[in-house]
Amino acid sequence: MTLYNPPVSATPTTGLIQSVRTTLTVDTTTTSTSFVTLLTASITTIGSSWLLIMANFSTTDSSSNDSGNQFRITVGGTVYAYAGQPTSVGTVTAQVGARCIYTAALTANTYVVNLDWLTLDATNTISCRPATHAEGASLVIYEVTL
Amino acid sequence: MPLINPIGVASTNVLQTITSKVTANKSSTSTTFASVLTATITKVAGSNLLIWASWSFSFAYYGPIAFVRLVVNSAEVLRAGELWDQAQSGYFVYRATGLAAGARVVDLQWALAVKGDGTFRCRPATVPEGAAITVMEVSV
């Protein structure tokens, strides 16, 4: 009898438990000066685990008035990190930014991870247009127990 | 009886994870690299370190040129540039191999390019800025 790859546990219980990725696919804009969600992901954790979250974004501001934009990462409504992003000066050009954070220990639950954004100047429009321009945003999440 | 892959699920390949972040406002006018944030991990022989170091910094001056770098075990491994007065963000991802067992320090550092050209700022206590380091010790 040859035994190939005997039954294994379907879900690991230690170390790297799972990973989730979400990428913005549709063109999105905002003129909001309070945080609104750009990209969201959901993950159901096993309990006594942590999330390692990586967020990347490339966006363009409609103005080159040196006002600046802000991003943040939230998990279950808790803010874990902020990320600044400059507007351009002189010529409107795309800018990039990124943050990576490690959460506090989480109980078993389904958590919503959001990448939020705002403009610091209400007359400006921030655009993230992966469908039509060289812009985009993504969230990658690892759940780990150690 | 040939037995292929008899192990099933291996024991974990993540050995430990540590994290640290800046909590008090910090600033620097130095043109030589100075530490913003460190994380120390005590590792076993043969393991590797996966490192994520991220930041959102600003400058108290219009248009300075500045640098951020990642130092692992006293050696620079990555460097990035920063420009402008508005807050800017980014992160390093690095896999450190070949480090001996013992305590190893991961250091996120900053420096201005020109003396007197503004002030590098990280002010998580008062504005949306910050920095964090996460180090994962893995066996693979």
3 state SS of B119: coil
pLDDT at residue B9 greater than cutoff 50:
no
Q: Are B41 and B18 in contact (CB under 8 A)?
A: yes
pLDDT score recorded for residue B85:
73
Substitution target from B86, B92, B129, B135 for chain A, most A beta carbons within 10 A: B86
B14-139 CATH fold: Jelly Rolls (2.60.120)
Between residues B117 and A121, which one has the greater pLDDT?
A121
pLDDT score recorded for residue A52:
96
Mean pLDDT across A35-45: 97
Cβ-based contacts of B129 with chain A (< 8 Å) = 82, 84
B1: confidence class by pLDDT, cuts 50, 70, 90: very low
Q: How far apart are CA B111 and CA B53, in angstroms?
A: 16
Give how many domains chain A has, as a whole number. 1
Q: How far apart are CA B15 and CA A67, in angstroms?
A: 44
ipTM of this complex prediction, to 2 decimal places: 0.82
Instruction: Examine residue A73 and state whether it is found in any structural domain, yes or no.
Output: yes
Q: Positive or negative CA dihedral for B5, B97, A100, B124? A: positive
Enumerate the domain spans of chain B. Answer: 14-139
Closest by CA position to B88, among listed A141, A86, A101 = A86
Q: How far apart are CA A52 and CA A100, in angstroms?
A: 7
Between residues B63 and A46, which one has the greater pLDDT?
A46
- For A63-113, the pLDDT digits (tens) are 777 778 899 999 999 999 999 887 776 777 778 889 999 999 999 999 999
| Minimum CA–CA partner of A72 in chain B | B128
DSSP string, A67-84: --EEEEEEETTEEEEEEE
Mean pLDDT across B29-37: 94
Closest by CA position to B69, among listed B113, B5, B25 = B113
Q: How far apart are CA A58 and CA A143, in angstroms?
A: 25
B11: confidence class by pLDDT, cuts 50, 70, 90: low
Helices (H), ranges, B50-114:
none
- For B90-129, the pLDDT digits (tens) are 999 999 999 999 999 999 999 988 776 678 899 999 999 9
Cβ-based contacts of A146 with chain B (< 8 Å) = 12, 14-17
Instruction: Examine residue A2 and state whether it is found in any structural domain, yes or no.
Output: no
Substitution target from B61, B89, B126 for chain A, most A beta carbons within 10 A: B89
A140 contact B CB<8A:
no
CATH for A67: 2.60.120.760
pLDDT score recorded for residue A95:
81
Q: How far apart are CA A128 and CA A94, in angstroms?
A: 9
pLDDT score recorded for residue B8:
43
A26 contact B CB<8A:
no
CB-nearest to A102 from B4, B6, B19 is B19
Substitution target from A11, A56, A65, A146 for chain B, most B beta carbons within 10 A: A146
Nearest chain A Cα distance for residue B32, angstroms: 24
| Minimum CA–CA partner of B139 in chain A | A15
pTM of the model: 0.86
Q: How far apart are CA B18 and CA A138, in angstroms?
A: 24
Q: Give the domain range for residue A126.
A: 19-145
